[in-house]
Structure 1
Amino acid sequence: MVQLKGFVKPEDQIKIVRMCRQLGSGPGGFYKPSYKNGAKLNLWMMSLGKNWDLTTRSYGPTRPFDGAQAPVIPEAFKVIAQTANSTASGFPQINPDICIVNYYTNSGKLGLHQDKDESKSSLS
């Protein structure tokens, strides 16, 4: 793991949040995800590039519950990811095609966890 503390300046973080708010209020924007058993996550989620389906645990072109397409990843987000990746030496060049944006209310939280759904090829 490489931590790039202070990599994104506070003013750029504000711009990112504003872009996410704008994208999240449009088609394919924020929704409250739920599992097959109906349990809801304590957050609002939006996928950019491709949609994440909690029930199949895979990415696809549309959200199964409403058919919405994921908004396009803003070029500024791609540049940040590519620059961070190249700054963290030892990682191959990337072309980001998926971005998950989570929004938590004051009562929302995400506990320590590890996403194990990524294929080895997506991490190399």
Structure 2
Amino acid sequence: MNEPLLTHNQVFSLKPETLEKRIMEYYQETQNSSLTIKYLVALRVRFKLGAQEFAHILEDLVRYLFMNTKATRTMKRFFYYFKDYFDAPEWKRLTLRVFPLRNFGEKVVSVARSLMSFVRPENTTEPDKP
């Protein structure tokens, strides 16, 4: 049975340098992006709980995972937790890459609505003008 890299106690008690080293080594050895992202989400929680030294921990790894690896279910699930790691143009491009069908669907709905706004319903009547 596979032992977890870090226990929940370690994630919330170890120093940032130790966590960075262990998570980087783990990813380099296993290339397991899903579990790596889960650990990074836990570190984001630690940051939100007040540990300011975790603000942009492992920024290079996060950027690499989201920009260069295949979009996994885990990546899509936790995607929005890492918005502040990217600037606006990168975020837009990344959203298109991670959620291609969602963006296509939104575009289709937008075009359909714009086309429907030009068509006037047949059953409406205008009030008589005096």
- Please indicate the TM-score interval, normalised by the length of the shorter structure: under 0.3
Task: Name the one with the larger helix percent.
Answer: 2
More strand by share: 1
Find the structure with the greater CA-based Rg.
2
Q: Which has the higher contact order (CA 8 A, sep 6+)?
A: 1
Normalised TM-score (structure 2): 0.20
Calculate the TM-score normalised by the size of structure 1.
Answer: 0.20
